[in-house]
A and B are shown apart, each in its own frame.
Chain A
Amino acid sequence: MARFIETSIDLPTVDNSLINMIRSGSKLYSICEFKGMHKAYFYWQIEFNDTFPIKVRGLNRPQIDISPWDGTNFRVRLTVTHKGQSRYLEADNTTAELVEVAEPEAITNIDTFQFDLQERDDLILSVATRFKSNQNQDHAHNAILSYLLKSRETTQDDHVPAYEAITRGLNHPLYHLRKSTDLRKVKNSDFFIRDFLMLHTQGGESARDPLTLKGISIRDGAIGSDFSDEFDLLVQEINDQNPDSPIDVYEFHQLAHRDGLQLIPNAGSVNQFMGATMSHVSVRGNTIESEGALQGIFASDGAFRNLHILHNRIRTAGKHSIAIAGMLSGKISGNIIRGAHGAATSKATLYPLRIGGGANIKILSFSNQAGISPGDDNYYEYEAIEGDQDIVDLRSVRPVSNRGTATYWHDVDLPKLQQLYPTTYRQVQRLGQWPHEIPRAWDNMMQQVGTKA
């Protein structure tokens, strides 16, 4: 049973003093009580009939966002999730103060968005103008994402974590794991906006005690959701402003930088952009499905030693199903990879180790100093990858046509590079105002540790 015990907002006319009370949060926090429902998750919303609604959302304690308004009649909506079941309660200023929940049935909301039309027009026109000049998909998509997040009105219960993640940062994954104990937090989900999971560690303790991502089910339900529907309508209206552009802003299903599982090495003082190594990680028995450009298992920066990718089922329309840059050793085997339309496809690809982030430096081969032997932590070599997977191995291959900014290097002494890096990093920081000089600084450093291809 849920009871609305305090409805001091039950006034025929709501005045500004009430707004102040709502802003304080105290009244809403005690608006209802639930017998035997401790540790419940609360989602609040108050709507006024006229003009701007007042929105009150929050986890247990409401976070209050009050827009200008002149409403008189209002309705309180409250969703409570407890032990995996959601209950929806409703009261308005003329009726219920006490609500009985007859059956503990589950209910799911939908995601809805409330747009200020002038703001919406401004967004469409500004993004269209900027896209016409720079054709930058990321800028356009980020502007749309920000606007949609700001315009959220109601949220389906199980979508809340995804929205909260992306609110922390537009590239933030649903799960960002920095230590092995974080694995406990991971739950299967079919709604996430950027990555599902980012593993950002130096890996497991040893080959016998690997860090294992196992049995996770990732279904990309954001494709075709209310969210993507609103996203795509904005995209369409932006593209309508630029009918003669040779390229359109992509729709949500082609949003870039979305990964099912992304691996990022981090070894304390050395990060992935300087070739940090992730060791002893096993990714096995996971399921990743997407009708969009979601990349399945992906790593773009740093090195990976003893990485095992086994028996995963991946079906995606993305460019990469399994794509690892910088894999030094390990095993890829038994993964079932399909395109979005279900046909078997071989999209397990290995790329050269990449460092420098935007400097886009790719290492085709290594040199190791005297005294360092295979098996040592600071020994670098592209070993043969074990397993029966059909792999496209491009780790030591320089593309015939290179239209991007990447430079390719042979015989790179990576430990020496990491010693030189602090000096170069300071230099690069100083060059921040002259970004065109940064590639030259990297080039100078690379000349000391390798040979340009």
Chain B
Amino acid sequence: MIKIYPFSRLFALIALLLLSAPAVTSASPLYDLGSNWYKMSASVSFRSNNSYRDRVSLYASKQTVSGQTLRDVFKPIPAYLKTALFSDQTVNPFREVFSDVQLAHQQGQLNNCPFVGVELPLNKDSQSREWLISAPLKICLTGGYQRSREPGSHVWLLQQNAQGRYQMMMESAGLIQVIDEPASGYKQLRTRLYPFHLNPGSQQACGYGSISWSYRNGRYWPTQLFPKINGCERVLSNLSEAQRFQQVERGLLLGLGQIIGRGMKRLDNGRLVY
């Protein structure tokens, strides 16, 4: 038997599903990533027309190599969360390192910037809530990407405690990973820090650091640092690989010192001692 169905409707549905990268329009309930995973990795890449593509990879166990990928889970955040990101009342140890972000906000340059997020519980305490938030700061500030220097988006991990007070648990450029190996009840974090955040005008700033963070006494502290010399062969071409590594390491330790308010040393195994 031959059946006919209205192809145009199917066409429209498929077009809708396949073509529409999400665009930031209005706030809706934020997706809750839950805790049924060992490791979570998230990234959001934005286009200059404010559309974005997000990806969350969930890894079931420490041995899992390929994660399960979720897409389209980041949604525009409500206004009160955006306000909390930049409020003086929010405890934020990252303000100094990311002073350019604070300045851009104060100058109104982020007013039309899309901020998207998910809910991401960092502990088992049902009295507090945490959100992972991302925004394309470079696009908002310059109207274009700067892929040669860093990923296109900035991320915040914001907590609201039982008393309603906000605290910035983490701030980072681009990649963030959350690992369910709790310290003091909180999952561990892994982020990247780029030395040029410390010295924005320097063309010699290259590489980045992969930093592990553990929770202790009410905040996250860096516990391990692995400097990466990616991109340094161009800007530090006159230095040996070991010298490049040392230069990147120095810059990263300086930045971490600014965040935690004290100096530290890095051991050969990457451990940080204060």
Contacts and interface: CB of A to CB of B under 8 A. Distances in A.
The reply to whether chain A is a binding partner of chain B is yes
Interface of A: 88-90, 95-103, 105, 107-110, 115, 117, 120-121, 124-125, 223-224, 229, 232-233, 236-237, 241, 243-248, 250, 253-254, 291-293, 317, 319, 339-342, 401, 403
Contacts of B19: 107-108, 110
A243 B210 contact: yes
B147 A253 contact: yes
A151 to B, nearest CB: 12
Given A95-B3, A229-B55, A247-B230, A237 B18 contact: no
B66 A237 contact: yes
A109 B18 contact: yes
Count chain A CB atoms within 10 A of each CB in B144, B148, B149 and give the residue with the most: B148
B11 A291 contact: no
A225 B4 CA distance: 36
A87 to B, nearest CB: 8
B47 interface: yes
Nearest to B15: A107
B230 A248 contact: yes
A232 B230 CA distance: 15
Given A229-B55, A248-B230, A250-B230, A236 B41 contact: yes
Contacts of A96: 3-5
Contacts of B53: 224, 229
A120 B55 CA distance: 18
A317 B65 contact: no
Contact of A90 (B10, B18, B234, B240): B10
B66 A117 contact: yes
Interface in B126-158: 138, 142-149
B36 interface: no
Nearest to A87: B11
B196 to A, nearest CB: 12
A88 B8 CA distance: 10
Contact of A292 (B147, B175, B231): B147
Contacts of A292: 147
B18 A115 contact: no
A248 B57 contact: no
A361 to B, nearest CB: 21
Interface residues of B, number: 49
Interface in B62-117: 65-67, 69
A107 B57 CA distance: 29
A109 B245 CA distance: 44
B65 A102 contact: no
B37 to A, nearest CB: 14
Q: Which of B43, B230, B234 has the most CB of A within 10 A?
A: B230
Interface stretch (B26-34, B221-229, B254-262): B221-229
B218 interface: no
B274 interface: no
Interface in B1-31: 2-8, 10-11, 14-15, 18-19
Interface in B203-236: 210, 226-231, 234
A241 B8 CA distance: 48
Contact of A342 (B66, B143, B230, B237): B143
A223 B147 contact: yes
A133 B215 CA distance: 34
A89 B6 CA distance: 11
22 contacts: A90-B14, A99-B5, A101-B7, A103-B11, A107-B15, A120-B65, A125-B65, A223-B147, A229-B55, A233-B69, A236-B41, A241-B65, A244-B226, A246-B228, A247-B229, A248-B230, A292-B147, A317-B146, A341-B144, A341-B145, A401-B237, A403-B240
A33 to B, nearest CB: 14
B177 to A, nearest CB: 8
A373 B142 CA distance: 53
- A88, A115, A124, A241: most-surrounded residue (chain B CB, <10 A): A88
Given A115-B66, A233-B69, A236-B41, A224 B270 contact: no
Contacts of A317: 146-148
A159 to B, nearest CB: 13
B265 to A, nearest CB: 17
Most B CB within 10 A of own CB, among A98, A340, A341: A341
A339 B4 contact: no
B45 interface: yes
B126 to A, nearest CB: 30
Contacts of B18: 107-110
Given A243-B210, A248-B228, A88 B14 contact: yes
A110 B16 CA distance: 12
B238 interface: yes
Given A107-B11, A110-B19, A246-B226, 6 more contacts: A99-B4, A101-B7, A102-B7, A107-B15, A319-B234, A401-B238
A98 B2 CA distance: 7
A107 B16 CA distance: 10
Contacts of B143: 342
Contacts of B55: 229, 233
Nearest to B234: A319
A224 B41 CA distance: 18
Interface string B241-274: 1000100000000000000000000000110000
A329 B269 CA distance: 54
Contacts of B8: 101-103
A37 to B, nearest CB: 15
A89 B238 CA distance: 58
A124 B63 CA distance: 13
A244 B7 contact: no
Nearest to A401: B238
Contacts of A124: 65-66
Contacts of B47: 224
B69 A88 contact: no
A229 B245 CA distance: 28
A245 B67 CA distance: 21
